[in-house]
Chain A
Amino acid sequence: MNEMNFMKKLIILVATAFFLHLQTEAQNLADGEKIFKTTCTACHTIGKGKLVGPDLAGVNARRTPKWLLEFTKSPQALIKKGDPIATKLFNDYNKIQMPDPNLTEVQIKNVLAFIKSKSAPATVVKPVIANTKATTAKAVISNTTSKIQEVKKTSSPVADWIDAEYKIKSFSFAGEINPKDLNASIWNNQKTNMLPISVQNFTYPNLQTASVDSISVKSVYRSNQVVFLLEWLDSSKNVEVDVDKFCDQIAIQFPLNTNEIPSYMMGNKDGMVHIIHWKSIWQEDKEKGYRDVQVMYPNMWVDIYPGLESYLDRSKRVYAQDITSEQIVETHSFGNMPGTYSHNPMSQIKRKEPVEEANAVGFGTIATQETQQAKAWGQWSNGKWTVCIVVPVNTGNIYKAKFTDKTKVAFALWDGGFGNIGGRKHFIPWVDLILEK
């Protein structure tokens, strides 16, 4: 009798343990799938061919678990250590470093388990032969009726374009280019490079749905300037910033050192990038004066801004709601504007150009440069942005791009109408920029 009870209990215990085991395993796989989809899919597939990085089907069999764990934790550290496999991968994949994915050991194990579960056993994976042309991107710019196309993750245009080896040829010119002259004749003769664009889904927070699918790029250069004319479709002109308002933006990125190309996602620890960033709000500031409270909310009323009224000429009957941010800055009374007081480059009331030069060494590290030399101007009409950016290069300043006849450039784009901000952005990985003689 007792034995029977014991056996019963044992069976129940074993069954429960087995059931729990299955349950946690399912959870781990689900977790792994989630991480794979948000972090890895921009560069890797499982059995669908190589993208920016290798196809991961069967990777669990190709490498040891220890190596996989270490590499996934920090690919950059392993390359630096001189690990032969990591170095070979780095060289085989166009010297593009995989960014450190910032995952815990448990998360990595879950991702690896997910990859294993999706890898068909012992089949040779054929790389998918990609289209040499990004057909989706081709006709878009000429189509002035802006239509928003969702980029399907499964057929990411990044895949097409990596194999197509997109190049931007920059042609030499003599004389000045005024970025405000967006219809300058020099642009008529230049070749248009259509570059498909994808969404940033490597790191948090990210963008899940694309609202722009390509950028058209033209480029010319002279001794220490490379000039870009960038065009893309955007159904709405977004030039305001407030709690739920976002502006349109575009940025160009250069590696500082062309011998070792850093991660196209804002560089990496030992690979600094030079970023040139244009914002429509900054341009609006230049065109119409600073976007002040009374500009955005003409019916606003404020009783007092304590202390500020005394700086202004009271005989002119200046009321609190008339005091502009520019006046506050002119009178050096910006103690109540913490961002401006802290010299935050975002809080500059009087900006010289609608563009900013910055450096970065990875996600979340962008820092404004001290010497600002870039110039830019943009225009939105009929559902299309056209932005001209003059990039200073080879100036001797160590924080700016330096190269002889060839380098790489990458792009980021923000669609303000779709809430794009910070890491919620579109991007194009490294593209060759060739200075034609």
Chain B
Amino acid sequence: MAKVNNWQLKREMEYPYEEVKPKKQIAYVFDTNKCIACQTCTVACKTTWTAGKGEETIFFNNVETKPYGGYPQKWDLNTLKELDDQQWDGKGVYKGSTIFENTAPGERVKGWRPPERNYAFPNIGEDEVMGTMEKGAFFNGIHDTWMFYLARICNHCSYPACLAACPRKAIYKRDEDGIVLIDQSRCRGYKECVKACPYKKTFFNMVTRVSEKCIGCYPLIEKGEQPRCVTTCIGKIRMQGFMEDAKEPRKDNPIDMIVRIRKIALPLYSQYGTQPNVYYVPPIHVPFDFLHQMFGPTVEETIRIYKNMKDDKELLAAFMLFGNTNKIIHSYRAEENHAVGFNEIGDEIVRVPYVEPVFKRPHWDEQLQTFHHNTP
């Protein structure tokens, strides 16, 4: 085991391989507050990549309702059970052990392999709320119970557990963009990755008898375009870009601004230790004890900053760029009335107004001889 630095845990941790940073690291920001679980991302991904024989239960992307949903079922609970103590100290340093530390004899990673039944109910728990409604309860501005939607893809982790567990070295992390891939010609279907991945985002294909995982839509990435699950999102909750993982965060990189500078998007279950690269804006209406477990100890501060975003033009501008271009935004600028995004060579690729212009049309249209209705 080598010692590697995990910035999310603010400490060194054990990992079977030495620390190697890719030239660029793919990263995503998902704003859970905007997700309505329409599953457009799921379907876009499914029809693009996993519509084949043997891929019936493979969902590189899924959206589940928390707290009760999960695909495969209990993906999160069973991994949390594997970890003993998950405490953070006052300075935000993780004091517990990760999935790579204190493993059982003969194991590189603490993991569990879901039985087939756990793949049988992709929609389980959908729209179910936490707790029960009292008789006579009514809506008075704040809901008595809560639930939220969690969109999930492969985290293209900096320290992937799937890669660590593969005895064939059939899994690799690309140097050019940090995307984690399973070599389809090298895998021999040992399912060690399925057991190791704490997010359960590697899947076994029972027809080809080898494992598959989210490929980060790398053919699009190579063309400078964002992945399918990002560009098809009708709620515009997602942005994909690259993070300055190895270097100081850049103020003009929207991902860096959101994740590293304002720190309002947080990694999911960072205590697992894989340093995941999908960052979530936590839901603002969910009890903090639940959010602490999921998004770490800084979640209160994160939500406070998020609620004040309207006064923080630089941050707001980064969020305005979500879902407004299919191109990858490498840098951005907060202008007086617009958020402007640029590609890798600095060409402008998107310009979004902070406030949508309002057009008022006359009630009676002479030309068409009809009434117009102005709806806000």
Chain A residues with a Cβ under 8 A of chain B: 34, 37-38, 104, 107, 201, 203-208, 241-245, 281, 291-293, 296, 300, 302, 304-306, 308, 323, 325, 328, 334-344, 346-347, 349, 363-364, 366, 421-424
Contacts and interface: CB of A to CB of B under 8 A. Distances in A.
B53 A328 contact: yes
B294 to A, nearest CB: 25
Contact of A346 (B51, B192, B209): B209
B207 A325 contact: yes
B249 interface: no
Contacts of B107: 204-205
Given A293-B53, A296-B206, A339-B209, A364 B168 contact: yes
A423 B108 CA distance: 12
B184 A366 contact: no
Interface stretch (B109-117, B232-240, B316-324): B109-117
A243 B167 contact: no
Nearest to A419: B113
B181 to A, nearest CB: 11
Interface of B: 1-2, 16, 47, 51-56, 105-108, 113-116, 119, 165, 167-169, 184-192, 194, 203-210, 212
A259 B93 CA distance: 56
Contacts, number: 135
A342 B205 CA distance: 14
A201 B106 CA distance: 7
A311 to B, nearest CB: 12
A339 B208 CA distance: 5
Q: Is the interface of A mostly helix, strand, loop or mixed?
A: loop
A320 to B, nearest CB: 9
A339 B53 contact: no
A107 B1 contact: yes
A341 B206 contact: no
B188 A346 contact: yes
A286 to B, nearest CB: 15
Contacts of B205: 337-339
A340 B208 contact: yes
Contact of A242 (B108, B116, B187, B192): B116
Given A205-B167, A243-B119, A305-B52, A346 B106 contact: no
A205 B192 contact: yes
A243 B114 contact: yes
A239 to B, nearest CB: 13
Given A292-B207, A344-B210, A325 B54 contact: yes
Given A204-B107, A205-B107, A243 B51 contact: no
A249 B187 CA distance: 18
B106 A244 contact: no
A337 B167 contact: no
